[in-house]
Structure 1
Amino acid sequence: MVARFYRRLNYVLASVCVAVVAMTQPASAEVTYSVLSYDDLDGWEVDDHAAALTVFQNTCMDMDDPDWTALCAYATQQPDAKAFFELFFRPVQIDDGQDALFTGYFEPELDGNRTRTSRYRYPVYAMPPEARRIRPWLTRRDILGTDVMRGRGLEIAWVDDPVELFFLQIQGSGRIRLPSGEFIRVGYSGANGHLYRSIGQELVRRKVYAAHQVSAQVIKNWVRRNPVDGRELLYHNPSYVFFREVSEVPAHKGPLGAMNRSITTMRSVAVDPAFVSLGSPVWIEKDGKNPLRRLMIAQDTGSAIKGAQRADVFFGTGDKAGRAAGRLRDPGRLIVLMPIQRAYALLPEDAS
């Protein structure tokens, strides 16, 4: 009875799905869809599906399409997790002609203070109103090299390391440890509208490092060893991220993702929402030195995460997580678990 209900519901919504997908694809992309079976997923049988179902429940209530709403309602009844995914979803591989790439991200922890001192002198800024109205607004150089932000009360906190602050902006959220031992948690509020430019790629272009040598820690060390040239290197990226305080999120939970819910270490992944609906389960087959086969939930986005086979795995909070995330740059494939009739609606008529 339950299965028939969902099949009927998904059949009605299948045509809606096709229209939505068509509107969100880049016009120039050659996009193909392959519906797979669960036997095609390497490692599916041995994953912890219950852990993935718990993470799915964290954000499924925010997915307002009727088919997702129905699936979420059933998920809250605590079904057998593996059977739930196998019954109501089909694995779909989406290809846009680009090679798959998995990277990692984390929630940084910085040392800071509520007020400026001789040690804590680098501001974490809230977003000024005009930056929301004018697109693009000032560049990173303009924001940090002039008095445009001073005297306006936009400082959320002050930190002791401009390099860590730069990487906090790349990650989009983080925690600031106060001298009292308390934390301020900050999340993404907006950006100045300029495109992100990779300073790692710039170091490779300058022949400072080969591509395989570049990591977040290597970049940090180089900037610190070369303070003048390092400051100019940071200016190479004109994008500037502003924050808001989200300290209402408990310290034991993860930072807020793009769905405004806490994300989960090694179960949440950032994707390109042009291809993958936020909240969708995704099967990760990451190759490389430490292969990973795991069901995750697409709960975040990122300015550098573009493409059907592009994903950023959340590694958690702190330096250890940061080191692990910074080493990840591996191939593989990403499989989206779609509601069953959505999946079949994407196939050409002669293949369905």
Structure 2
Amino acid sequence: MVHHTISSSRPSASSASSRIRSMNRFLGASRVWVVVALIVGALAACSSVPLSEPDAAPAEATASAAPAPGPVLAQGRSRWVPVPWSELPGFADDPLHEAWNAWVRSCERPPAAFVPLCPQVRRLMLGSADEQRAWMTGQLQPYRVEPLDGSTEGLLTGYYEPLLEATRQPTATHTVPLYRPPATLASRRPWYSRQEIDTLPEALAALRGREIGYLADPVDALVLQIQGSGRVRITESDGSQRLVRLAFAGSNEHPYRSVGGWLLQQGALRDASWPGIRAWVARNPHRVQEMLWSNPRTIFFREEPLSPLDAAFGPRGAQGVPLTPGRSIAVDRESIPYGTPVWLASPGPLVDLKRLVLAQDTGSAIVGAVRADFFAGWGPEAGELAGRLKQPLRLWVLWPRQPSR
């Protein structure tokens, strides 16, 4: 899944407190879906490989111990500095079973270093938080992620999966098409820009018959393309409805340009959050097309069915596994490999996050050592969180310990 992040301004203190409470409730509720959906699969996937008892020391003993001897590791744009477990804020309090869902998913396509540990990860799906914590402190070494210039603080933003209404055929109200990739996509690089797609007969001809469905609002179509995936309730020609996922299937390979940034440059607004953008759209309907064309990049989709199990997870990320709400992040692959468990600490101001997450996705705006995009889930509350999340970040990768010599 390839997505982009729109910069947003901070909400006022008076309006943020109610949102934070709502967002925390939302994150907690979304976890229940995932726990129930995955537990049967975890039982089926359990291996007969026993846990390593000698290394599974109590968390109280190991969390304060000095890190295993070892050098600072170089990893692309970052360096990893070994630290004791006591450096990880909130490690003793995180309900780890919620993150275990994402970890079991990562074990479907694990990094080579985690292949030997994945049978134990699957077995611990049904373990207590204390058992999971003890196993982690026995098997893994925390490394603080730093850029090469040594700064330890970065930026956390968010993304989500929109939930939209569409029709299979165009109607008087639903006229904005969503397309599958055109057959000529590979023959012209970059392909036609967003403005050219809307205005050139040859571009329109290449997309004829590639329509998946139609939305009522062109801004909703832009949001769907920026996020890279979405859930769409499609009304068929016979009036029946079904919920499907539209997943990223390609782009026209033009650079992404933020419409919020364009509006700021125009002096049209000061609040570049999605609520601010939509308020400007409502006041300036005659300039919406101009705003849309400021971003030349267009995304094409493929339609996927949503089974009950699929519906409990997000779309597949760049790692190739489904994303888990609140426990999957997008990272810079040059700094953190896909499938790596990561300790994330971001103290606000919007929401306080100290938790185990899995590096399972990427995004064109996610560049740098201490940089992450937090997958908030789907629907309006997830959109509210993702659209406003922009706060300080620290990261620690949790990497398998080297065998003692």
| TM-score scaled by length of structure 2 | 0.74
| Moved segments of 4+, more than 6 Å | none
Residues 276 and 318 of structure 1: CA distance in aligned 2, closer, same or farther (over 3 Å): same
Q: After the TM superposition, which residues 130-149 of structure 1 pair with which residues of structure 2 at under 5 Å, given as runs?
A: 130-147=184-201, 148-149=203-204
- For residue 116 of structure 1, report the CA deviation from its aligned partner: 1.3
**Residues 106 and 360, structure 2, Cα contact 8 Å, conserved in 1:** yes
Q: After the TM superposition, which residues 93-132 of structure 1 pair with which residues of structure 2 at under 5 Å, given as runs?
A: 93-96=144-147, 97=149, 99-132=153-186
Q: After the TM superposition, which residues 312-351 of structure 1 pair with which residues of structure 2 at under 5 Å, given as runs?
A: 312-341=373-402
- Residues in 2 aligned to 1:246 and 1:168: alpha-carbon distance in whole angstroms: 15
Residues 273 and 3 of structure 1: CA distance in aligned 2, closer, same or farther (over 3 Å): farther
**Residues 222 and 230, structure 1, Cα contact 8 Å, conserved in 2:** no
Query: Is residue 92 of structure 2 the alignment partner of residue 92 of structure 1?
Result: no
Of the structure 1 ranges 166-175 and 223-232, higher mean CA displacement relative to structure 2 is found in: 223-232
Secondary structure at the counterpart of residue 311 of structure 2: coil
- Residues in 2 aligned to 1:245 and 1:202: alpha-carbon distance in whole angstroms: 31
Query: Is residue 226 of structure 2 the alignment partner of residue 170 of structure 1?
Result: yes
Query: Is residue 104 of structure 2 the alignment partner of residue 57 of structure 1?
Result: yes
Partner of 2:65: none
| TM-score scaled by length of structure 1 | 0.84
Partner of 2:95: 48
Amino acid paired to 1:108: P
- For residue 52 of structure 1, report the CA deviation from its aligned partner: 1.4
Amino acid paired to 2:167: N
Task: Return 5+ residue gaps in structure 2 as ranges.
Answer: 1-50, 56-69
Of the structure 1 ranges 100-109 and 223-232, higher mean CA displacement relative to structure 2 is found in: 223-232
Partner of 1:37: 84
Partner of 1:11: none
Secondary structure at the counterpart of residue 316 of structure 2: coil
Q: After the TM superposition, which residues 184-195 of structure 1 pair with which residues of structure 2 at under 5 Å, given as runs?
A: 184-195=244-255
Partner of 2:274: 216
Percent of aligned positions that are identical: 36
Residues 93 and 114 of structure 1: CA distance in aligned 2, closer, same or farther (over 3 Å): same
Of the structure 1 ranges 100-109 and 192-201, higher mean CA displacement relative to structure 2 is found in: 192-201
Task: Return 5+ residue gaps in structure 1 as ranges.
Answer: 6-13, 345-352
**Residues 143 and 396, structure 2, Cα contact 8 Å, conserved in 1:** yes
Secondary structure at the counterpart of residue 299 of structure 1: strand
Secondary structure at the counterpart of residue 202 of structure 1: helix
- For residue 64 of structure 1, report the CA deviation from its aligned partner: 5.2
**Aligned length in residues:** 324
- Cα deviation 1:214-258 (Å, max 9, x = unaligned): 212211221243223221122111111111112245333322222
Partner of 1:293: 354
Query: Is residue 204 of structure 2 the alignment partner of residue 158 of structure 1?
Result: no
Partner of 1:243: 301
Give the CA RMSD over aligned residues: 2.7
Residues 238 and 3 of structure 1: CA distance in aligned 2, closer, same or farther (over 3 Å): farther
- Residues in 2 aligned to 1:276 and 1:307: alpha-carbon distance in whole angstroms: 10
Residues 136 and 339 of structure 1: CA distance in aligned 2, closer, same or farther (over 3 Å): farther
- Residues in 1 aligned to 2:241 and 2:85: alpha-carbon distance in whole angstroms: 47
**Residues 269 and 280, structure 2, Cα contact 8 Å, conserved in 1:** no
- For residue 279 of structure 1, report the CA deviation from its aligned partner: 1.1
- Residues in 2 aligned to 1:144 and 1:176: alpha-carbon distance in whole angstroms: 23
Partner of 1:196: 256
Amino acid paired to 1:82: R
